[in-house]
C-alpha cells in the first residue's frame, strides 16, 4: 500500500469530507516581530483558507477570539486585586501602549494590520473602562476620550493621542520590557487567574519563562495554548512534509 497518496484515490464525496476535517499540527509559540513572515509561510504552505490559529482552552481547541477572553480575564482579576495599580493608572496616566504609541488606536484584539500583536494594553484599557461604571471603584472616574497631550515618561516624548476612558493623568505608559515604565503590567508578571488554563511545553524556552511568574503567567498561557490547525486535505498534500508541518516557523 502506498501511504503517501492513498487519499488521491477517494471518491469525490469522501475527498470533500476530508476538507471539513481540521487537525492541530503543532504549537508555534511566540512570534513577536516575526508575525508577518510566519503568516506568509503558512499561507504559502496551506493556502489562506487551509489553516487557522487556535488555542487549547479547558481541553478544547477554540478560536483566538474565545481564548483572548481568558487573557483579558486574567488582567481583570489582577487589576481588581491590586488597587494601588488601578489608582496609579487612573490618576497619573492618560493611556497605555505596548510597542508603539499607535497601539492606542486599536480596541480590537484582531490585529491583521500590526507588525506584532499587542494585547496587554487593550486588556488594561478595557478593564479600566469597566471600573468607571463600578461604584466600588470611585477612584476611577469617567473621562473623555478626546485627544490629549500625553508624555511618555520613558522617552520624554510628547504625543497628542486619545485619552483612554478612566485614565485622568498625563502619562502615556508603555507596558513592555523591564526598561519600560509600565513593566509591572507586563503579561509575564500577571498570573493566570485560573490554574486549569495553564499548560507546559517541556523543552521549550521563551522569553516570558525567565520573567515575572514565568510558566504561571498570562503570557505563558497564551503561548503554550496556541496551536496551528490545518485542513486535513491540505495536510495530506504536504506529502513527506507531514512529518514537520511547521518547519521554518
**Block mean pLDDT (10 aa), the chain, length 249:** 71 87 96 95 97 96 98 98 98 98 96 94 98 98 96 98 98 98 98 92 87 95 97 93 95
Q: Residue 2 has what pLDDT?
A: 60
Question: Do 77 and 192 fall within a single domain?
Answer: yes
Report the DSSP beta bridge partners of residue 63. Answer: 54
For residue 179, what is its C-alpha cell?
526598561
Residue ranges making up the domain that contains 105: 64-225
DSSP label at residue 154: T
Tell me which residue of 7, 35, 218, 45 sits closest to 112, measured CA to CA: 35
Q: Residue 7 has what pLDDT?
A: 72
The answer to the question of residue 249 being in a domain is no
The answer to the question of residue 59 being in a domain is no
Question: Do 216 and 239 fall within a single domain?
Answer: no
Question: Do 92 and 42 fall within a single domain?
Answer: no
Q: Is the whole model's pTM more than 0.75, yes or no?
A: yes
Spatial distance between the Cα atoms of 16 and 229, rounded to a whole number of angstroms: 18
The answer to the question of residue 213 being in a domain is yes
Question: Do 120 and 180 fall within a single domain?
Answer: yes
Torsion of CA 89, 93, 94, 97, to 10 degrees: -80
Spatial distance between the Cα atoms of 236 and 88, rounded to a whole number of angstroms: 54
Question: Do 47 and 68 fall within a single domain?
Answer: no
Amino acid at each position: 500500500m502506498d501511504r503517501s497518496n492513498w487519499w488521491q484515490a477517494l471518491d469525490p464525496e469522501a475527498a470533500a469530507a476530508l476538507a471539513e476535517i481540521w487537525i492541530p499540527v503543532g504549537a508555534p509559540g511566540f512570534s513577536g516581530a516575526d508575525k508577518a513572515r510566519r503568516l506568509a509561510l503558512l499561507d504559502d504552505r496551506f493556502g489562506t483558507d487551509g489553516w487557522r490559529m487556535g488555542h487549547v482552552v479547558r481541553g478544547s481547541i477554540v478560536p483566538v477570539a474565545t481564548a483572548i477572553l481568558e487573557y483579558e480575564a486574567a488582567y481583570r482579576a489582577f487589576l481588581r486585586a491590586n488597587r494601588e495599580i488601578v489608582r496609579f493608572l487612573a490618576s497619573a496616566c492618560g493611556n497605555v501602549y505596548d510597542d508603539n504609541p499607535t497601539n492606542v488606536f486599536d480596541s480590537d484584539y484582531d490585529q491583521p494590520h500590526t507588525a506584532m500583536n499587542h494585547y496587554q494594553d487593550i486588556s488594561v484599557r478595557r478593564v479600566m473602562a469597566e471600573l468607571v461604571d463600578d461604584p466600588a471603584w470611585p477612584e476611577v472616574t469617567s473621562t473623555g476620550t478626546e485627544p490629549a497631550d500625553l508624555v511618555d515618561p520613558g522617552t520624554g516624548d510628547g504625543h497628542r493621542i486619545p485619552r483612554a476612558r478612566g485614565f485622568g493623568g498625563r502619562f502615556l505608559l508603555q507596558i513592555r520590557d523591564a526598561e519600560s515604565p509600565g513593566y509591572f503590567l507586563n503579561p509575564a508578571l500577571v498570573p493566570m487567574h485560573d490554574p486549569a488554563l495553564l499548560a507546559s511545553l517541556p523543552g521549550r524556552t521563551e522569553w516570558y519563562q525567565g520573567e515575572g511568574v514565568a510558566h504561571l503567567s498570562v503570557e505563558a498561557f497564551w503561548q503554550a495554548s496556541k496551536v496551528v490547525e490545518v485542513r486535513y486535505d491540505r495536510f495530506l498534500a504536504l506529502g513527506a512534509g507531514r512529518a514537520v508541518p511547521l518547519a521554518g516557523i
